[in-house]
A and B are shown apart, each in its own frame.
Chain A
Amino acid sequence: MTDMDMSNASEKQTDFSASLKKRYAAERRFRAYGLTAIVIAVSILGILLGTISFQGTPAFFQTYVQVDVYFDEAVIDPSGARNEQTLRTANYQALAKRGLYQLFPEVSERREKRTLGKLLSSGAYRPLSTMVLDNPEIIGTTQSVWLVTSDDIDTFNKGQIDRNTVEADRRVKDNEIAWVDVLDAAGRIDMRFNTAFFATGDSREPELAGIWGAVVGSFLTLIVTLSVSFPLGVSAAVYLEEFAPKNRWTDLIEVNINNLAAVPSIVFGLLGLAVFLSFFGMPRSAPLVGGLVLALMTLPTIIIATRAALKAVPPSIREAALGVGASDLQVVTHHVLPLAMPGILTGTIIGMAQALGETAPLLMIGMVAFIVDVPSGVTDPSTVLPVQIYIWADSPERAFVAKTSAAIMVLLGFLITMNAIAVMLRKRFERRW
């Protein structure tokens, strides 16, 4: 009897361990699913960042060609008066082209000459006028100058156009390749760091287009955003957290703020269009309006972060201050706010990073216009970095792909810096009571 019981029990035991094996297999599978999910997500992130930096890095360099330019007085300043206006607007393009033609005396046919001239960017001559304005003495001399090549030559020189494809499918034709080879052999082709990319505004020509205008626009916009949303957000949060009575009205405000945080950004753009542009008649495409729209958008983020930071200040500090006779407001301004400040700043920086990366609402208020000039004030028409990325991404020229990626790298650089500062602040001032 007992034996039977024993065997019975051991039978059950084996049954159990058989199913256990299966269960452990299921356990391992489940665990693997989770890990796979994370690996997928992280590798997509890797692919995204990888492609963009792969595409974008070449844009930080630009192909230059060395041309001996004769600063011909007859072209620049036939009268010899050295009038600044004349010097500024002289036909330097012709001088630059002439210099290039001299390198290829065998090219004489008109059409071929024109093609040769197109090796140079249409804006390649710009440094020449600066040179003359800086030093009018050089008129009449020949100077060796490095000039920007056109985007096609630049792309070719970077190896992105394969010379072995059929000529008809290639943007750079055989004769152009031949010229480039000759120039290259003569040491007249060089890749240099593209400083213009960081110093100029937008352009229709990819080789001349820069992000400085957009960076300044973004900066001005963020200044407006910060100066509106920080004081408003912090005072709203202080009121709600420290002073507001708990009633229907404050409940409403709370629900409101939480919901506002999740309203699609484009709706804020519609608000900006209808209220700031149509109703108040503010200027289109201006950082002022963009900043206001983004301020309304980041307000909930700042309020929520500030309230969390205020909540983290222990009540004993408030009691202590009240106990020595500080008023409510003194308690907040002398004690609670300074202690909550790192948290508030962290939240604000994160909000600003959000605003910096935001595109959609700014399209609504016309910041998508093609603007060459670098804005000098908050009411000047301008664009911002993400919108510049959007504009370039829409451009058909191949060279803009690299520019777009490069602009994205710059944008991500800013965002990473901001977030790093936020993380640092949090780490540095983290305080546990």
Chain B
Amino acid sequence: MDSSVLIVTILILTLFGYWMGRSRARMLAGTEHLSVLHSLPSYHGSYVALWCGLPALLLVAAWLIFEPSLIEHIVVEAIPGARALEPAQLSLLIADIRNLTSGNIVSREIDPTLAAAGEHYNALQTISHAAMIVLTLAIAVYGLYLARKNQTRGFRARNRVEKIVRIVMVVASTIAILTTVGIILSLIFETLRFFEKVTVTEFLFGLNWSPQTALRAEQVGSSGAFGAVPIFAGTFMITGLAMIVAVPIGLLSAIYMSEYAGPKFRAVAKPMLEVLAGIPTVVYGFFAALTVAPFFRQTGEAAGLMVSSESALAAGMVMGVMIIPFVSSLSDDVMNAVPQSLRDGAYALGATQSETIKQVILPAALPGIVGAVLLATSRAIGETMIVVMAAGLAANLTANPLEAVTTVTVQIVTLLVGDQEFDSAKTLAAFALGLVLFVITLGLNMIALRVVRKYSEKYD
């Protein structure tokens, strides 16, 4: 029986449970009115169904998640000498055993040990599978029986069902927390392993980044250098360029939208700007790499400048365009939230509209605008595809925006895409960079959200 068939079987049993619970409740009421029951028959049905399906499905899920690693562990334990293997070789061995059992191509010659391990693996899998089927079905049926036994006229099926649903909802709401914890734990865990190989100071303050570690230990001159300063510098340069584009355009657009534009103009222009935020970043990356960068290079050549075809300028400008709506729509909101009375006050003194905006509205909305800019900055720092496609790979420490620089996100992608050896400093470095990225963006967000919230409380 396939596990999907098993799940379907359990679901059918669950449906049956619902029907059974409901009809039993009807029977309990007999010819009398349904209101002699504490709960409606449908709740009785749901109660039985939940008892039948929920534990069984949870068990199946747990089984499917933990079965592979458990079996692997047992099989590897049984292979003589396997425990002494390096982690990388061990994972290769496991992959081979798996491939062997599923009939795929195996990377080495099939020696008797491997064949035996494969058979062992197969046998264990068969046993485990059979056990899973028997156990889960037994639990489903037992749950059904138990729940049915509980049913009486006064049985509070509704309260029970609602309690379970509520628990499910609580669990769902903690998923967000779990995600954060998962992110933090996985980043920190891998980063700590990275710092076993490379010191923290070298990573944070080193000026040289060339993460190509040797494939073979005896290879010379390729031990890899993990000084991340050039990457941080590149990230900040591109982010800075993006903000130079996005802040003036975004802010001025927002001012025009909220203060000058008529409702008709607004109704057209606002969605247009928001479309900029809806375009996938990979599209911007393509645009930057194939249209904007060559354009800059040619213009630069015409002016006698050397512009790299992966210049920070192109990536930064395009990223700036992408960020415009983040600045404009939030600023628009905060400016709209400035009370009309402040405007009236300024107009009554004979101020022109632009004077009112510059001297009254902007200062009043400043915290909100700062928040918007911070959020946009964090967005720009974390943006990946534009820089992956349009910025460079080499870590140059330069202040010239016409040269190629690289960013944190570019490095994460290049370090992790393609063939990777787990546990190498190269792969782990990506997680260290990821942690830096996470901490910086999180910090910016927290500040921005706080600033915006303070601001909105002020005018509520």
> Are A and B in contact, CB atoms below 8 Å, in the complex?
yes
A408 contacts B286, C-beta separation under 8 Å: yes
> CB-CB contacts of B266-301 with A at 8 A, as 1s and 0s?
000100110110111111111101110000000000
> CB-CB contacts of A380-399 with B at 8 A, as 1s and 0s?
00000011011001100000
A281 contacts B445, C-beta separation under 8 Å: no
In the bound complex, CA of A48 to CA of B441 (Å): 28
Residue among A257, A300, A363 with the highest chain B CB neighbour number at 10 A: A363
Q: Is the C-beta of B18 less than 8 angstroms from some C-beta in chain A?
A: no
Residue of B nearest to A328 (CB): B162
A232 contacts across to B, CB distance below 8 A: 172, 175
> CB-CB contacts of B118-158 with A at 8 A, as 1s and 0s?
00000000000000000000000000000000000000001
**How near does chain A come to B161, taking the closest CB pair, in angstroms?**
8
A42 contacts B272, C-beta separation under 8 Å: yes
Q: Is the C-beta of B107 less than 8 angstroms from some C-beta in chain A?
A: no
**Interface size class, chain A:** 35 or more
Q: Is the C-beta of B375 less than 8 angstroms from some C-beta in chain A?
A: yes
> CB-CB contacts of B163-197 with A at 8 A, as 1s and 0s?
00110111011111101101100110110000000
* A267 with B354, Cβ < 8 A, contacts A36-B252, A358-B280, A401-B290 known: no
**How near does chain B come to A405, taking the closest CB pair, in angstroms?**
8
Query: Which of A4-12, A272-280, A337-345 faces chain B?
Result: A272-280
A360 contacts B385, C-beta separation under 8 Å: yes
B169 contacts A259, C-beta separation under 8 Å: no
**How near does chain A come to B419, taking the closest CB pair, in angstroms?**
10
B438 contacts A267, C-beta separation under 8 Å: yes
* A404 with B382, Cβ < 8 A, contacts A24-B352, A259-B446, A260-B176 known: no
Number of inter-chain CB pairs below 8 Å: 249
B311 contacts across to A, CB distance below 8 A: none
B257 contacts A38, C-beta separation under 8 Å: yes
In the bound complex, CA of A257 to CA of B278 (Å): 21
A264 contacts B256, C-beta separation under 8 Å: no
In the bound complex, CA of A40 to CA of B273 (Å): 10
| A359 partner, pick from B253, B281, B355, beta carbons under 8 A | B281
B434 contacts A270, C-beta separation under 8 Å: yes
* A266 with B434, Cβ < 8 A, contacts A358-B280, A386-B282, A389-B283 known: yes
* A299 with B169, Cβ < 8 A, contacts A270-B412, A281-B69 known: no
* A263 with B438, Cβ < 8 A, contacts A48-B279, A368-B417 known: yes
B282 contacts A31, C-beta separation under 8 Å: no
B182 contacts A271, C-beta separation under 8 Å: yes
Residue of A nearest to B431 (CB): A270
A34 contacts B283, C-beta separation under 8 Å: no
B256 contacts A393, C-beta separation under 8 Å: no
A243 contacts B321, C-beta separation under 8 Å: no
A389 contacts across to B, CB distance below 8 A: 282-283, 286
A411 contacts B283, C-beta separation under 8 Å: yes
| A329 partner, pick from B65, B165, B174, B449, beta carbons under 8 A | B165
Q: Is the C-beta of A199 less than 8 angstroms from some C-beta in chain B?
A: no
B352 contacts A23, C-beta separation under 8 Å: yes
In the bound complex, CA of A256 to CA of B378 (Å): 16
Q: Is the C-beta of B347 less than 8 angstroms from some C-beta in chain A?
A: no
A275 contacts B182, C-beta separation under 8 Å: yes
In the bound complex, CA of A151 to CA of B284 (Å): 25
Q: Is the C-beta of A30 less than 8 angstroms from some C-beta in chain B?
A: yes
A94 contacts across to B, CB distance below 8 A: none
B430 contacts across to A, CB distance below 8 A: 270
B388 contacts across to A, CB distance below 8 A: 360, 363, 390
Q: Is the C-beta of B59 less than 8 angstroms from some C-beta in chain A?
A: no
* A274 with B189, Cβ < 8 A, contacts A23-B355, A264-B382, A327-B162 known: yes
**Interface size class, chain B:** 35 or more
B183 contacts A299, C-beta separation under 8 Å: no
Query: Which of A104-112, A168-176, A205-213, A233-241 faces chain B?
Result: A233-241
A31 contacts B272, C-beta separation under 8 Å: no
In the bound complex, CA of A275 to CA of B385 (Å): 23
In the bound complex, CA of A93 to CA of B257 (Å): 62
In the bound complex, CA of A394 to CA of B162 (Å): 53
B413 contacts A51, C-beta separation under 8 Å: no
B69 contacts A42, C-beta separation under 8 Å: no
* A41 with B324, Cβ < 8 A, contacts A30-B354, A256-B177, A390-B389 known: yes
* A267 with B282, Cβ < 8 A, contacts A253-B177, A274-B190 known: no
In the bound complex, CA of A356 to CA of B413 (Å): 19
Q: Is the C-beta of B74 less than 8 angstroms from some C-beta in chain A?
A: no
A390 contacts across to B, CB distance below 8 A: 282, 285, 385, 388-389
Q: Is the C-beta of B353 less than 8 angstroms from some C-beta in chain A?
A: yes
A265 contacts B382, C-beta separation under 8 Å: yes
* A264 with B253, Cβ < 8 A, contacts A274-B186, A280-B65, A299-B175 known: no
B284 contacts across to A, CB distance below 8 A: 48
* A239 with B281, Cβ < 8 A, contacts A42-B273, A52-B287, A329-B162 known: no
B253 contacts across to A, CB distance below 8 A: 34, 37-38, 41
Q: Is the C-beta of A73 less than 8 angstroms from some C-beta in chain B?
A: no
In the bound complex, CA of A264 to CA of B410 (Å): 13
In the bound complex, CA of A45 to CA of B449 (Å): 29
**How near does chain A come to B70, taking the closest CB pair, in angstroms?**
11
In the bound complex, CA of A360 to CA of B437 (Å): 14
Q: Is the C-beta of A244 less than 8 angstroms from some C-beta in chain B?
A: yes
B175 contacts across to A, CB distance below 8 A: 232, 236, 296, 299
Q: Is the C-beta of A317 less than 8 angstroms from some C-beta in chain B?
A: no
**How near does chain B come to A410, taking the closest CB pair, in angstroms?**
12
B416 contacts A364, C-beta separation under 8 Å: yes
In the bound complex, CA of A397 to CA of B76 (Å): 46
Residue of B nearest to A388 (CB): B282
Interface residues of A in 39-79 (CB under 8 A from B): 40-42, 44-45, 48, 51-52
A263 contacts B442, C-beta separation under 8 Å: yes
In the bound complex, CA of A263 to CA of B385 (Å): 15
**How near does chain A come to B182, taking the closest CB pair, in angstroms?**
5
Q: Is the C-beta of A322 less than 8 angstroms from some C-beta in chain B?
A: no
Q: Is the C-beta of B239 less than 8 angstroms from some C-beta in chain A?
A: no
| B280 partner, pick from A40, A240, A263, A411, beta carbons under 8 A | A411
Nearest first, the 7 closest Cβ-Cβ pairs linking A and B are A264-B382, A34-B256, A357-B280, A274-B186, A37-B252, A360-B384, A30-B354
| 4 additional contacts (CB under 8 A) given A26-B352, A359-B281, A387-B282 | A41-B253, A357-B280, A359-B385, A405-B286
Residues of A at under 8 Å CB distance from B? 23-24, 26-27, 29-31, 33-38, 40-42, 44-45, 48, 51-52, 231-233, 235-236, 238-240, 243-244, 252-253, 255-260, 262-268, 270-271, 273-275, 278-281, 296, 299-300, 303, 327-329, 353, 356-360, 363-364, 368, 386-387, 389-390, 393-394, 401, 404-405, 408, 411-412, 415, 419
A-B contact pairs, 6 of them (CB 8 A): A26-B355, A27-B352, A34-B259, A38-B253, A360-B384, A393-B289
